[in-house]
Amino acid sequence: MAADWRTDRIGAALRGGNPTVLRRLDAGFAVIGDVQFLPGYSVLLTDTPGVERLTDLPRPRRLAYLSDLDRLAEAVERACRAADPAFRRVNIEILGNKDPFLHAHIWPRYDWEPAGIVQRPVWLYPPTHWQDPRYALGPPHDALRAALTAELDASA
């Protein structure tokens, strides 16, 4: 994957050049995460450039974004439960501490996670997990990507 789309994920999605996009939704883009150490990790990007916070959106757009978030979280839950019997739940987070644009993380959680982390925030995983090439999004994730997309389509 080319690195240029990462500098403007929303603009690239609007132009059709963000390779992580699963589907365009009503108020955002459902994307599969760049890293997959928790298989099925996905993100909902706003489709409005320049929006940094949920409260930057007018209330109708805000509610549409939250509805999209619910739809993506349910798709992640269904696809991950079908793919792995050790699936536990999804965690949903809107943080905005690093990337200055509205986005929400949907983290699937599994029983096979390390005991010291499984019941704690995903951000406690070692930094190596975020950079390890074996967890980078790629062809090994095509089946999960297809399952996520199918679940999104089924919920339309």
User: Domain span at residue 138?
Assistant: 4-154
| Nearest by Cα to 32 from 146, 150, 145 | 145
Q: What crossing angle do the helices spanning 142-154 and 59-83 adopt, rounded to 10°?
A: 130
pTM listed for this prediction: 0.94
Residue 47 burial by Cβ neighbours in a 10 Å radius (0-12, 13-18, 19+): buried
Please report the pLDDT score of residue 7 as a whole number: 87
- CB-based contact 30:75 (threshold 8 Å): yes
Please report the pLDDT score of residue 1 as a whole number: 44
**Portion of the chain with pLDDT greater than 70, in percent:** 98
Average pLDDT, integer, range 69-77:
98
Integer Cα distance of 126 and 9 in angstroms: 25
Integer Cα distance of 124 and 127 in angstroms: 8
Integer Cα distance of 88 and 111 in angstroms: 6
Number of domains in the chain: 1
CATH code, domain with 79: 3.30.428.10
Please report the pLDDT score of residue 117 as a whole number: 93
Give the model's confidence band at 4: pLDDT under 50 very low, under 70 low, under 90 confident, else very high. Answer: confident
The residue written with tokens 């739809």 in the block is 71
Average pLDDT, integer, range 52-60:
96
